[in-house]
Chains A and B, each alone.
Chain A
Amino acid sequence: MSEAREFKYIGQSTIRPDGFDKVTGRANYGADLNLPGMIWGKILRSPHAHANIKRLDTSRAEAFPGVLAVATHSDFPSVTDQAIESGEGSLTLLDLARNVLAKDKVLYHGHAIVAIAAKTAAIAEQALALIDIEYEVLKPVMDVREAMAAGAPILHPDMFTQGLAEKPTTASNVATRLEYKMGDIDAGFKEAEVVVEREFYTPTAHQGYIEPHACTVRFEKDGQSMIWCSTQGHFDVRASTAKLLAMDLGKLKVIASEIGGGFGGKTTVYLEPVALILSRKSGRPVKMIMDRDEVFKATGPGSATRSWVKIGARKDGTITAMQGRLAYEAGAFKGSPVMMGCMTAFTPYAVANMYIEGFDVVVNKAKVAAYRAPGAPQAEFAVEMLVNELAVKLGRDPIDLRLQNAAKEGTQTIYGPKFKRVGLVECLEAARDSKHYQQALAKNQGRGVAAGFWFNVGGQSSVHINMNPDGTGTIVEGSPDIGGSRASMQMMAAEAMGIEPGRLKPIIGDTENVAFSAGTGGSRTTFATGMAVIEAAEDVVAQMKQRAASMWNVTAEQVEWVDGVALNTAGEDRLSLAEICASADRTGGQISGRGNINARGAGPSFAVHLCDVAVDKETGKVDVVRYTAVQDAGKAIHPKYVEGQYQGGAVQGIGWALNEEYIYSADGLLENAGFLDYRIPVASDLPMIDAIIVEVPNKFHPYGVRGVGESGIIPPLAAVGYAVENAIGVPVTDLPLSPPRVFNLIQGKG
């Protein structure tokens, strides 16, 4: 993009087009659709963390009055092992089928086994109790250390570690070993005069969206089957469900409802294929809604991790070596985001020698799902904690030390390419110059600084803009709007067309009325779908100019488009967009623009956060007293929603740092499957979150956009973690920093 571009609409904070429906309760979410004749589906879930299913008999449940269908794993047509694209990259179809309904073996507390559809939810629940099932309970494996230890119980006897130099001969809980390296790590440490190293632990944490998974489906044997569901990617729901049920894509319509939060957790399927089986068997529309405890037990979460990181630097502050080993829990099936952890861990730094290895490890917990910058928060937590320690050892200001070593344009990344223009330095400078950073700390307070890096992705987006005869139009896009993206689509199209944003209505098309679009994830929507919107809008403008030219009997090149008006450079004529639309029937039919793209050039977004905490040393309770989130947006299309992404990411990360964790019994049963004891931040826990938008334009986007959704959750773990370390004067290694843990640290029992 050109550097000094003036925008008419971009950068304003408009009222979002879907806002009215959302503040009045009219917006329809996953659980809000009821169909005539609809029945209710409920799922029997495993009471054990690890067990073989010895016997399963559903006949009593099937005979229960009001029950209309029962589904088990055997209802899937023969499923072959092939990769399915989901938020994490790949989950094989076989694993997906076994996760959706267990086959022979249950692998976590809450693993789905049987689904029942009945006239009412209450009847379905009563019928679940009539399923006769016998388990052979096995010892669960609940942590990567246990899982990787010799002699550990094996979850999958057919799983052999991939990525080893020599092919293994025995099954393992380690699905994959991978590594990234750059330079000479040994030489880097030889050069170092100061070395810091530590082991870290981060717990299993859930995305915690407020809307439970829900869907309403209708199976039609001859025609179109329909799924209405809450998802980040309805085309992915269609692909997964159609593959699991051996259907043609063209026979399955998926409608994305409004979505009540996802954070990566709604990038895969749980209920949808099951509901469709129940609908096929009963001949009735079926609705399924997860209870909150099912959401915690069987969806998400993000990986728990154990990591070891070592950093060496010269006395002048130059970091010479960074080394790490990351082990990520995948849950019951392979596919943790450890690769992304390895790729992001050291990436905020320009360091010549790096080496990192990663392990993808299965344990008896729910299969992890993508969670906002998947894999990055855990890895960067470890690194950022140590960079802060390094600053202390070197007697340097932590921001200053980061500035000295910051990645910038031309920096070689460990995963391959060199950075184009990135905004880490600008973010660090903005943090350094903030009022927050100038403010002195009070007694019992501590401060933490942390940086965060996330790639951001592009990918496929499809958009068309249909113009109406009165000059209004509809933007049909295929990316579910999870946080207000329709507002930015409206603004980008308006900017490109030169008309008021309110003239254009953005909607999320279903899988039939817009072409394939990748899901909302990877901070891609405003970037990639935005590019498609701009392309479609420019297509509309080109057609407008053509139509005006034909009315004036000039060439399109002789028509200029200024602020939504066609100007005849060969004369005085002008035609507004509305006038051209009004006469479209006479100039060749109605006007519709198209932008079907595979977007490239996603620009990374760096974030830098500052956190001040106060610690009650008698109780170990941590209070976040001041927080600032700085992040590079490239160009903020709608600044308030950009700030909202920073603030929301920060608070989600604060929760992860302070109180959120899955708590398991010795038998591997989840003990806090509810909002009462899975403690996400509440309004009274927090101060205002200062958001500072840095804009270093991404030259690959017409308006300079970088995705902003994910980076904001990366720094808080270490910003909070180090603030606590700073306040109590004791090294912090494990999250969450809940009162008992902090109290023990203070007491020297950490």
Chain B
Amino acid sequence: MAKIHISTSINGEATEFLCEPHETLLDVLRNDLQMTGTKEGCGSGDCGACSVTVDGRLTCACLVLGVEAAGREIGTIEGIGSSDKLSVIQEKFLEHAALQCGICTPGLVVSTQALLEQNPNPTEAEARYFLAGNLCRCTGYDKIIRAVLDAAATMRGAA
């Protein structure tokens, strides 16, 4: 199979890669671009560990073909926060102990950012339903939801 040359933008940075047509965006990120912050939990869109944005819209990287990235703007966990300053969402996850094993955390941070961009003042129920596609087996979600709502309040206050 001939590899296809793709030009895309990842976290605002022009990026090129070669991929086979069957590879998913998740395969490309993790195996070809060594961006392993995006995790694989199921490969079928059921767990949300590979949550990314494509042209600003939240999706699972396992449900996108790598070739589809051409000309798109891809957002991953690596684009959130910087090495000296975490985003408010990331800070709140740490402050509220909203992670235990942490495998679902990158996906949840990406999803929470998408939620708060779309709805800066979600109710608890809205947050729970928006994030229902991000499975967490450790926390029982309590502290995650608290972190999300606190991050929302903080960001509204800061805005």
Residues of B within 8 A of A683 (CB): 127-129, 131-132, 134, 136, 141, 144-145
* Residues B17-59 near A (CB distance < 8 A): 20, 22, 30-31, 34-44, 46-47, 49
B77 at the interface (CB under 8 A from A): yes
Q: Determine if B36 and A648 form an interchain contact, defined as CB atoms under 8 angstroms apart.
A: no
Closest to B42 in A: A292
Closest to B110 in A: A25
In whole angstroms, how far apart are the Cα atoms of A23 and B90 in the complex? 6
B139 at the interface (CB under 8 A from A): yes
In whole angstroms, how far apart are the Cα atoms of A653 and B102 in the complex? 20
A7 at the interface (CB under 8 A from B): no
In whole angstroms, how far apart are the Cα atoms of A309 and B127 in the complex? 42
In whole angstroms, how far apart are the Cα atoms of A212 and B30 in the complex? 15
Q: Determine if B109 and A23 form an interchain contact, defined as CB atoms under 8 angstroms apart.
A: yes
Residues of A within 8 A of B97 (CB): 13, 16, 484, 638, 640-641, 643-644
A26 at the interface (CB under 8 A from B): yes
Residues of B within 8 A of A652 (CB): 137, 140
Count A-B pairs with CB separation below 8 Å: 187
In whole angstroms, how far apart are the Cα atoms of A682 and B136 in the complex? 8
Stretch of A317-325, A429-437, A442-450, A673-681 that contacts chain B: A673-681
Residues of B within 8 A of A689 (CB): 140, 142
Q: Determine if A684 and B125 form an interchain contact, defined as CB atoms under 8 angstroms apart.
A: yes
Q: Determine if B137 and A31 form an interchain contact, defined as CB atoms under 8 angstroms apart.
A: no
Residues of A within 8 A of B44 (CB): 292, 674-676
B76 at the interface (CB under 8 A from A): yes
Residues of A within 8 A of B37 (CB): 24-26
Q: Determine if B102 and A260 form an interchain contact, defined as CB atoms under 8 angstroms apart.
A: yes
Residues of A within 8 A of B76 (CB): 25
Closest to B101 in A: A261
Q: Determine if A682 and B49 form an interchain contact, defined as CB atoms under 8 angstroms apart.
A: no
Contact of A644 among B22, B106, B138 (CB under 8 A): B138
Residues of B within 8 A of A201 (CB): none
In whole angstroms, how far apart are the Cα atoms of A212 and B101 in the complex? 13
CB distance from B126 to the nearest CB of A (A): 10
B135 at the interface (CB under 8 A from A): yes
Contact of B43 among A208, A211, A291, A641 (CB under 8 A): A291
Closest to B104 in A: A210
CB distance from B92 to the nearest CB of A (A): 9
Residues of B within 8 A of A650 (CB): 140
* Residues B101-159 near A (CB distance < 8 A): 101-106, 109, 124-125, 127-129, 131-146
B65 at the interface (CB under 8 A from A): no
Contact of B39 among A19, A211, A262 (CB under 8 A): A211
Contact of B101 among A209, A675, A684 (CB under 8 A): A209
In whole angstroms, how far apart are the Cα atoms of A262 and B93 in the complex? 21
In the complex, per-residue mask of A249-276: 1 if CB is within 8 Å of any chain B CB, else 0: 0000000001111110000000000000
Q: Determine if B100 and A648 form an interchain contact, defined as CB atoms under 8 angstroms apart.
A: yes
B4 at the interface (CB under 8 A from A): no
Residues of B within 8 A of A644 (CB): 97, 100, 138-140, 143
B16 at the interface (CB under 8 A from A): no
CB distance from B132 to the nearest CB of A (A): 4
Residues of B within 8 A of A328 (CB): none
Q: Determine if A648 and B99 form an interchain contact, defined as CB atoms under 8 angstroms apart.
A: no
Q: Determine if B100 and A24 form an interchain contact, defined as CB atoms under 8 angstroms apart.
A: no
Residues of A within 8 A of B100 (CB): 261, 482-484, 641, 644-645, 648
B73 at the interface (CB under 8 A from A): no
Closest to B82 in A: A24
CB distance from A369 to the nearest CB of B (A): 15
In the complex, per-residue mask of B69-87: 1 if CB is within 8 Å of any chain A CB, else 0: 0000000111011000010
Residues of A within 8 A of B146 (CB): 688
Q: Determine if A23 and B93 form an interchain contact, defined as CB atoms under 8 angstroms apart.
A: yes
Residues of B within 8 A of A263 (CB): 137
In the complex, per-residue mask of A18-37: 1 if CB is within 8 Å of any chain B CB, else 0: 11101111111101101000
CB-CB under 8 A for A210 and B145, given A16-B97, A675-B47, A683-B131 = no
In whole angstroms, how far apart are the Cα atoms of A691 and B96 in the complex? 14
In whole angstroms, how far apart are the Cα atoms of A13 and B44 in the complex? 36
In whole angstroms, how far apart are the Cα atoms of A351 and B43 in the complex? 51
Interface-central residue, A18, A19, A28, by most chain B CB under 10 Å: A19
Q: Determine if A258 and B140 form an interchain contact, defined as CB atoms under 8 angstroms apart.
A: no
Residues of B within 8 A of A247 (CB): none
B94 at the interface (CB under 8 A from A): yes
Q: Determine if A210 and B81 form an interchain contact, defined as CB atoms under 8 angstroms apart.
A: no
Contact of B94 among A15, A28, A208, A211 (CB under 8 A): A15
A568 at the interface (CB under 8 A from B): no
Q: Determine if B143 and A647 form an interchain contact, defined as CB atoms under 8 angstroms apart.
A: yes
Residues of B within 8 A of A640 (CB): 96-97, 143
CB distance from A649 to the nearest CB of B (A): 8
CB distance from B142 to the nearest CB of A (A): 5
In the complex, per-residue mask of A623-643: 1 if CB is within 8 Å of any chain B CB, else 0: 000000000000000101101
CB-CB under 8 A for A210 and B41, given A647-B142, A651-B140 = yes
Residues of A within 8 A of B102 (CB): 18, 22-23, 27, 258, 260
CB-CB under 8 A for A686 and B128, given A261-B138, A644-B138, A647-B139 = yes
Q: Determine if A651 and B141 form an interchain contact, defined as CB atoms under 8 angstroms apart.
A: yes
Contact of A29 among B39, B99, B133, B139 (CB under 8 A): B39
B68 at the interface (CB under 8 A from A): no
A122 at the interface (CB under 8 A from B): yes
In whole angstroms, how far apart are the Cα atoms of A25 and B87 in the complex? 13
Contact of A24 among B86, B135, B136, B142 (CB under 8 A): B86
CB distance from B37 to the nearest CB of A (A): 2
Q: Determine if B128 and A260 form an interchain contact, defined as CB atoms under 8 angstroms apart.
A: no
Residues of B within 8 A of A27 (CB): 102
Residues of A within 8 A of B104 (CB): 210, 260
In whole angstroms, how far apart are the Cα atoms of A261 and B101 in the complex? 5
In whole angstroms, how far apart are the Cα atoms of A62 and B103 in the complex? 35
Q: A24-B78, A209-B103 are in contact. List 8 more A-B contacts (CB 8 A).
A: A16-B97, A258-B103, A483-B101, A643-B97, A647-B139, A681-B141, A683-B127, A683-B132
The 4 A-B residue pairs with the shortest CB-CB distance in the complex, in nearest-first order: A25-B37, A260-B103, A651-B140, A22-B102
Residues of chain A whose beta carbon lies under 8 Å from any beta carbon of chain B: 13, 15-16, 18-20, 22-29, 31-32, 34, 122, 207-212, 258-263, 289, 291-292, 482-484, 638, 640-641, 643-645, 647-652, 674-676, 680-684, 686, 688-689, 691
- 22 A-B residue pairs with Cβ-Cβ distance under 8 Å, sorted by A, are A19-B93, A23-B99, A24-B78, A24-B80, A24-B81, A24-B90, A27-B102, A31-B40, A34-B34, A122-B22, A210-B41, A258-B102, A260-B39, A260-B104, A292-B42, A641-B97, A651-B140, A652-B137, A682-B135, A683-B129, A683-B134, A686-B128
